[in-house]
C-alpha cells in the first residue's frame, strides 16, 4: 500500500517588519517604543515595535489612541521602497530552499518543503537556516511555524514571536488545536468570537465536541471549515502563481464628509488614478466594480456589481447605494475596487512561453 506522508509546510513572518527595518537603519530608534505610520491627528499606525506593544499599542490603531497609551511613542513615516527591497531579498532566500512558495504579503510566505532533501529533509532545520540567512544578510529577525498544513503553520509562527519558531508535528496537531482559542482562527473576528462564546464555544476543543449541524445554526456556511480547522484539517495547496484578483484605490479624507455630492467629487478624483493602475494589469478581464466607504465609527461597507469596465456611471450608482448605509455618519474613507476574472491557465502558460521566447 502506498504510504501517504504528511506535508511539511513552513510559514515565515518577519517580526514587527516595518518597525524592525527602521530600527535597523536608524540606531537611535532601537531602544525606544517606535511605531510606523502617519502622525497626523487622523492617521492610523501600520505597525510598532515590541517595546511599544507592552503599552498595548497595535497595528491599525489610530495614532491618537497609541499616544494616549504610550505618550513617549515615536512615530516615523514608512519607507515602502525599502520594505519592498527587503521583501524581494527574503523571497530570494526562500527560493534557495524550495520552488513552492506562496507569498502572502511583503513580510510573510508559506513554503512547501515536503520534497526538499536539504538539511536532511528536516523542515525544522530548513526554517532555522532560512531565519539565519535572513539575519545574516539583512540584519532582521523572522519567526516561523512548521506544520503539516497552512492553517497550523500560520498559527504556529505566532507562538514564539519574536525571533522564534514552533514545530507542530503531525502527532502533536490534536493537542495543539485543542487548546487553541477560537480568536486565533482566521475568519473569526471579534463579533463572531463573541457570538460563539455566547453559545459556550471558546476553544477548538469546544467545537470538536459539537457538530456541523449545530455550528451551522450559529455561523452558517463557515461551519464546515470551522469544524475542520478545529480538527487541525486544512487541505489547501499552496497557491504558487497567484494572480491579482482585484485592484483597489482608496483615500482617507483629511476631515469627515457628510454628503453624497462630496463623495462623488472624491470618486471623480480617484477614477483617473485607478485607470493608471489598471494599465499595469491590462491583460486582466474586469468582471466587477465596487465602492467602499468607511464611516467615522470605523465600520465600513462595500457595494459591488458585475461590470466589464471601470465606468464612472456605475461607480456613481454604487456610491448612491453605499451612501444610503451612512445613516447620518460621516465618511472618513472612499475607495474604488475592480474585480478580475479567474486567470485562464492556458493563457497564463502561453504568456510564460512567449516571455521565454
Query: Which lies closer to ligand TTP via its Cβ, residue 161 or residue 332?
Result: 161
Q: Binder to Mg ion among 19, 34, 86, 107 (CB under 5 A)?
A: 107
* C-alpha to C-alpha distance for 163 and 132, rounded to whole angstroms: 10
Question: What's the gap between Cα 219 and its chain centre?
Answer: 22
59 binding ligand TTP? (CB under 6 A): yes
Interaction mask 35-54, ligand TTP, x per CB under 6 A: -----------xx-------
310 close to 282: Cβ distance less than 8 angstroms: no
Q: Return the C-alpha cell found at 5.
A: 506522508
Q: Choose the contact partner of 289 out of Mg ion, ligand TTP, none; CB within 5 to 8 A by kind.
A: none
Rounded-to-integer distance, Cα 277 and Cα 306, Å: 20
For residue 167, give the nearest of 341, 339, 6, 326 by alpha carbon.
Answer: 6
Q: Report d(CA 252, CA 333) in Å as an integer.
A: 4
Please report how close the Cβ of residue 167 comes to ligand TTP at its closest, in angstroms: 18
Task: Select from Mg ion, ligand TTP, none the partner in contact with residue 161, using the beta carbon and a kind-dependent cut-off of 5 to 8 Å.
Answer: ligand TTP
Q: Check 108, 171, 260, 268 and give the catalytic one.
A: 108
What is the edge-to-edge ordering of all strands in the sheet holding 246-257?
A: 246-257, 331-340, 286-295, 300-306
DSSP string, 42-97: T-BEEEE-HHHHTTT--TT-BHHHHHHH-TT-EEE---HHHHHHHHHHHHHHHHTT
Among 6, 60, 80, 125, binds ligand TTP (CB under 6 A): 60
For residue 141, the partner it binds in Mg ion, ligand TTP, none, with Cβ less than 5 to 8 A by kind, is none
Using CB distances below 5 to 8 A depending on partner kind, what does residue 255 bind out of ligand TTP, Mg ion, none?
none
Active site residue 85: no
Q: Which of ligand TTP, Mg ion, none has residue 60 at its interface (CB below 5 to 8 Å by kind)? A: ligand TTP
For residue 335, the 8-state DSSP code is E
The option from Mg ion, ligand TTP, none interacting with 102 (CB < 5 to 8 A, set by class) reads: none
Pairing status of strand 246-257 against strand 142-147: unpaired
Minimum distance from residue 67 beta carbon to Mg ion (Å): 23
User: Interacting stretch for ligand TTP, rule CB under 6 A, among 12-20, 95-103, 113-121, 165-173?
Assistant: 12-20
Alpha helices in 143-220 (DSSP H): 150-159, 173-178, 190-198, 204-208, 212-219
d(CA 38, CA 46): 9
Q: Could you tell me the smallest distance in angstroms from the CB atom of residue 163 to Mg ion? A: 12
Return the number of the residue (17 or 227) whose C-beta is nearest Mg ion.
Answer: 17
CB of 297 to ligand TTP, least distance (A): 18
Out of 9, 11, 17, 326, the only residue in the binding site for ligand TTP (CB under 6 A) is 17
Residue nearest to Mg ion (CB): 13
Which helix (H) or strand (E) element contains residue 11? strand 9-14
Question: Cβ of residue 20: shortest distance to Mg ion, in angstroms?
Answer: 9
Min CB(273)–ligand TTP separation in Å:
20
Footprint of ligand TTP on residues 85-124 (CB under 6 A)?
107-108
Stretch that binds Mg ion, among 104-112, 116-124, 184-192, 203-211 (CB under 5 A): 104-112
Q: At what angle do helices 190-198 and 212-219 cross, to 10 degrees?
A: 130
First-to-last alpha carbon distance for the chain, in angstroms, is 44
Task: Name the residues annotated as catalytic.
Answer: 108
Residues of the shown chain interacting with ligand TTP in the complex, contacts defined by CB under 6 A: 13-18, 46-47, 59-60, 107-108, 161-162
Residues of the shown chain interacting with Mg ion in the complex, contacts defined by CB under 5 A: 13-14, 17, 107
Amino acid at each position: 500500500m502506498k504510504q501517504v506522508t504528511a506535508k511539511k509546510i513552513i510559514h515565515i513572518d518577519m517580526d514587527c517588519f516595518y518597525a524592525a527595518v527602521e530600527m535597523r537603519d536608524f540606531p537611535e530608534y532601537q531602544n525606544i517604543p517606535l511605531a510606523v505610520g502617519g502622525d497626523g491627528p487622523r492617521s492610523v499606525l501600520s505597525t510598532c515595535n515590541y517595546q511599544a506593544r507592552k503599552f498595548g499599542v497595535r497595528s491599525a490603531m489610530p495614532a491618537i489612541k497609541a499616544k494616549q497609551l504610550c505618550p513617549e511613542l515615536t512615530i516615523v513615516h514608512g519607507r515602502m521602497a525599502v520594505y519592498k527591497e527587503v521583501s524581494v531579498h527574503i523571497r530570494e532566500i526562500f527560493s534557495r530552499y524550495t520552488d513552492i512558495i506562496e507569498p502572502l504579503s511583503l513580510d510573510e510566505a508559506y513554503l512547501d518543503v515536503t520534497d526538499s532533501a536539504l538539511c536532511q529533509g528536516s523542515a525544522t532545520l530548513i526554517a532555522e537556516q532560512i531565519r539565519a540567512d535572513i539575519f545574516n544578510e539583512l540584519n532582521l529577525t523572522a519567526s516561523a511555524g512548521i506544520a503539516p498544513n497552512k492553517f497550523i503553520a500560520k498559527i504556529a509562527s505566532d507562538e514564539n514571536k519574536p525571533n522564534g519558531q514552533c514545530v507542530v508535528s503531525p502527532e502533536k496537531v490534536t493537542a495543539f488545536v485543542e487548546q487553541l482559542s477560537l480568536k486565533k482562527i482566521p475568519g473569526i473576528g471579534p463579533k463572531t468570537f463573541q457570538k460563539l462564546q455566547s453559545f459556550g464555544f471558546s476553544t477548538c476543543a469546544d467545537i470538536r465536541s459539537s457538530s456541523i449541524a449545530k455550528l451551522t445554526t450559529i455561523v452558517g456556511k463557515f461551519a464546515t471549515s470551522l469544524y475542520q480547522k478545529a480538527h487541525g484539517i486544512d487541505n489547501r495547496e499552496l497557491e504558487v502563481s497567484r494572480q491579482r484578483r482585484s485592484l483597489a484605490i482608496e483615500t482617507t479624507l483629511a476631515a469627515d464628509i457628510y454628503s453624497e455630492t462630496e463623495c462623488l467629487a472624491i470618486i471623480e478624483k480617484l477614477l483617473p488614478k485607478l485607470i493608471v493602475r489598471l494599465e499595469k494589469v491590462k491583460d486582466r478581464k474586469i468582471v466587477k466594480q465596487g465602492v467602499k466607504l468607511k464611516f467615522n465609527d470605523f465600520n465600513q461597507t462595500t457595494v459591488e456589481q458585475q461590470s466589464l469596465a471601470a465606468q464612472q456611471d456605475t461607480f456613481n450608482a454604487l456610491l448612491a447605494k453605499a451612501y444610503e448605509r451612512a445613516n447620518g455618519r460621516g465618511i472618513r474613507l472612499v475607495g474604488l475596487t475592480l474585480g478580475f476574472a479567474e486567470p485562464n491557465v492556458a493563457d497564463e502558460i502561453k504568456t510564460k512561453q512567449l516571455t521565454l521566447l
